[in-house]
Amino acid sequence: MDKPKLMIASKNYGSWSLRGWLLCKMSGLDFDEQAVPADDPSTRAELLLLSPSFLVPSLVNGSIKVWDTLAIAEYLNEKFPEAGLLPKDSAARARCRSVSGEMHSGFSNLRSALPMNIKGNYPGFKVWAGAQADIDRIATIWRECLAASKGPYLFGASPCMADAMYAPVCTRFFTYHVKLDPVCTDYCKTIMAMPYMSEWVVAAKNEPEEVLELDVEF
């Protein structure tokens, strides 16, 4: 039987692809990845923020196809409950789903003003009020979760669904030199130091393809 396959877009620009890929890695799923061409409509929709719902990433496991990132997380949690993608405690599990859902459906100002670009480096970047409000809300979520769980991840000692959902935000904060409090700065460093993140970042920096609409001067 063929291994499960995860279809992803650009590793440099694809924030949703990163989330799906991290979830698969965290779950322990043995999978192959397949890059969808940059001119594919689903890829363009993800990278250029043209749609609130994307077909990339997509996880194909036999006759099963799952393409929404939260659905991928829930599917993998059912398949691999021992991986801890969701907390065991019911209250923490509900909170994890809530903050993951907030990332899934919100923060549009942050996404449009600070697009994911791992190769990018923009010191002195001007963050406007709309995006700053999103940043402040994310920082509040992180501080509250870390205070309750004692860290180093949002819900305890191991990364979970929520950490995968917010990992692309950490790359944005480093790319655009966003000023954060010490707690949030340490959390970003924790996420970026994860071996899976290091693997993704290396691949992103070696990626030859560029999306011209995103490769702009700030």
Mean per-residue pLDDT, 143-155: 98
Number of Cβ within 10 Å of residue 110's Cβ equals 24
**85-201 shares the fold of 5-82:** no
Looking at residue 36, what is its pLDDT? 83
Looking at residue 209, what is its pLDDT? 61
- Domain boundaries, given as residue ranges, for the chain: 5-82, 85-201
Residues 205, 118 contacting (CB under 8 angstroms): yes
Q: Which amino acid is at 187?
A: Y
- CA–CA gap between residue 102 and residue 118 (Å, rounded): 23
Answer yes or no: is pLDDT of 105 > 70.
yes
The CATH number of the domain covering residues in 5-82? 3.40.30.10
Residue identified by tokens 């043995």 is 30
* Residue 49's pLDDT band (cuts 50, 70, 90): low
CATH classification of 85-201, choosing from 1.10.150.120, 3.40.50.1100, 1.20.1050.10, 3.20.20.10? 1.20.1050.10
Residue 93 zone, left/alpha/beta (φ > 0; ψ -120 to 50; rest): alpha
Residue 51 zone, left/alpha/beta (φ > 0; ψ -120 to 50; rest): beta
Answer yes or no: is pLDDT of 51 > 90.
no
Classify the C-alpha dihedral 86-111-72-21 as positive or negative.
Answer: negative
- CA–CA gap between residue 204 and residue 79 (Å, rounded): 29
* Residue 217's pLDDT band (cuts 50, 70, 90): very low
Rg (CA), the chain: 16
Task: For residue 150, give the 3-state DSSP assignment.
Answer: coil
Answer yes or no: is pLDDT of 216 > 50.
no
Mean per-residue pLDDT, 139-167: 98
- CA–CA gap between residue 168 and residue 10 (Å, rounded): 13
